[in-house]
Chains A and B, each alone.
Chain A
Amino acid sequence: MSNSSINISNYSPASLKDKNQLINKVSVSSSRTADTWYTLLSKSIEVQASSSGKVEVNISIGVCPAGNDLFIRLLRDGSQISAFTAASPSARTTATQGIARPNTSTFQQMQTLYYVDTGLSAGTYTYAIQILADVTTTVPINRHTTEAATTARNVAIIDLAEL
């Protein structure tokens, strides 16, 4: 290997102990027939810290609300993270983040989410992102509702990193 192929002096590794990523290229339309959340991404990570472990969760998705309001929620091992869940919503539905409808139905919206999960013991944790519309409707994922040569298909990404 020649020196010209790598510049070691500029290499600055972060303190990441582990890092997992899942890219979902599947484009689907998920029909909501009840209050059923659709799992968009699910990925596991092994936390090495014996206590007070931290996992950074970064999400990027693209959806086309098409006249409806969408919501996403972040799960750890199948449940919403208690410290990161809305308080006392009564009959309302708890979510992590809203994706409001755009002014035009053909507009596709990219959405990001950043969160650091804390207080974790050593072990393997599975994080999932689910999506739901506010009314019974079809939720396009990684695609537009009405597809054409002028619309696009994109990807959804979940990045997990132990800090």
Chain B
Amino acid sequence: MSNSSYVPPVAPVSCLVSHQQVVLTGSQSVTLSSATWTDFSDGTTTMSITFTPTSATNKLEITGCLNTCRNLTSMYMRVLQDGAVLLQGDAASNRIRCTTQLNSITQPGIQGNTFSFMVLAGTTSSTTIKVQWYQTTGALGGVNRATTDTDDSNHFRTVSVMDIKEYSA
């Protein structure tokens, strides 16, 4: 077979169909209620995106960066689609099931926590993907700020973001 007559098979091409983004530029300190999953928010904007996929078989790439503070105890985070958790650890007795853990840190630090995974869109109706967080005890935590947050240049304010990229099947 000569090269001139050879026609390669058509490769399946996955194209970016849509891109959604939510950015949290504000900040808040918050005492999460023990044993309660709470929507992740900077006090003004919730880490939540509602959109309509063009095909149920399209793939969604979900990435996020959450900046939080928490003094010496851990927090947990999970990603949900229409109320159902998209990705979490296995069930094991009373263990908390989550997508990822937010690091336990000392003050005045802020820790960026990231996640990245893909799922099928699963619907062509309006759908909401959001982030929730949770802590094991009721101490103070913060979004985009440290617990110690007096007004000087040695204290920082950060941003948090979630992107959803929809790719054709």
Q: How far is the CA of A4 from the CA of B88 in the complex (A)?
A: 39
CB <8 Å contact, A11 and B11 = yes
Contacts of A72 in B (CB 8 A): 112
B127 lies within 8 A of chain A by Cβ: no
| Main SS class of interface, B | loop
State which residues 89-116 of A face B: CB under 8 Å.
89-101, 111-116
> Contacts A71-B156, A85-B25 known; A98 to B111 CB distance under 8 Å?
yes
> Contacts A15-B14, A100-B110, A134-B108 known; A115 to B163 CB distance under 8 Å?
yes
Q: By the criterion of a CB under 8 Å from any partner CB, how many residues of chain A are at the interface? A: 40
B159 lies within 8 A of chain A by Cβ: yes
CB <8 Å contact, B157 and A89 = yes
Please name the residue on chain A nearest to B20 by beta carbon: A116
Contacts of B149 in A (CB 8 A): 92
B23 lies within 8 A of chain A by Cβ: yes
> Contacts A13-B11, A71-B158, A100-B106 known; A112 to B153 CB distance under 8 Å?
no
B144 lies within 8 A of chain A by Cβ: yes
CB <8 Å contact, B159 and A96 = yes
Contacts of B67 in A (CB 8 A): 97-98
Query: When the two chains form the complex, which single residue of B63, B112, B167 contacts A98, counting CB atoms closer than 8 Å?
Result: B112
CB <8 Å contact, A93 and B157 = yes
A12 lies within 8 A of chain B by Cβ: yes
> Contacts A11-B11, A92-B149, A98-B109 known; A114 to B65 CB distance under 8 Å?
yes
Contacts of A96 in B (CB 8 A): 158-159
> Contacts A8-B9, A94-B156, A95-B157 known; A86 to B114 CB distance under 8 Å?
no
Q: Chain A nearest CB: distance from B116 CB in Å? A: 6
State which residues 7-31 of A face B: CB under 8 Å.
8-9, 11-15
Contacts of A91 in B (CB 8 A): 151-153
Give the one of B14, B64, B65, B156 with max A CB within 10 A. B156
CB <8 Å contact, A97 and B112 = yes
CB <8 Å contact, B65 and A115 = yes
> Contacts A8-B11, A84-B159 known; A69 to B112 CB distance under 8 Å?
no
CB <8 Å contact, A9 and B11 = yes
State which residues 36-95 of A face B: CB under 8 Å.
54, 69, 71-72, 83-87, 89-95
Contacts of B97 in A (CB 8 A): none
CB <8 Å contact, A69 and B14 = no
What is the interface of chain A, defined by CB distance below 8 A to chain B?
A: 8-9, 11-15, 35, 54, 69, 71-72, 83-87, 89-101, 111-116, 118, 134-135, 163
Sort A-B residue pairs by CB-CB distance and give the 3 closest, nearest first.
A98-B110, A100-B109, A97-B112
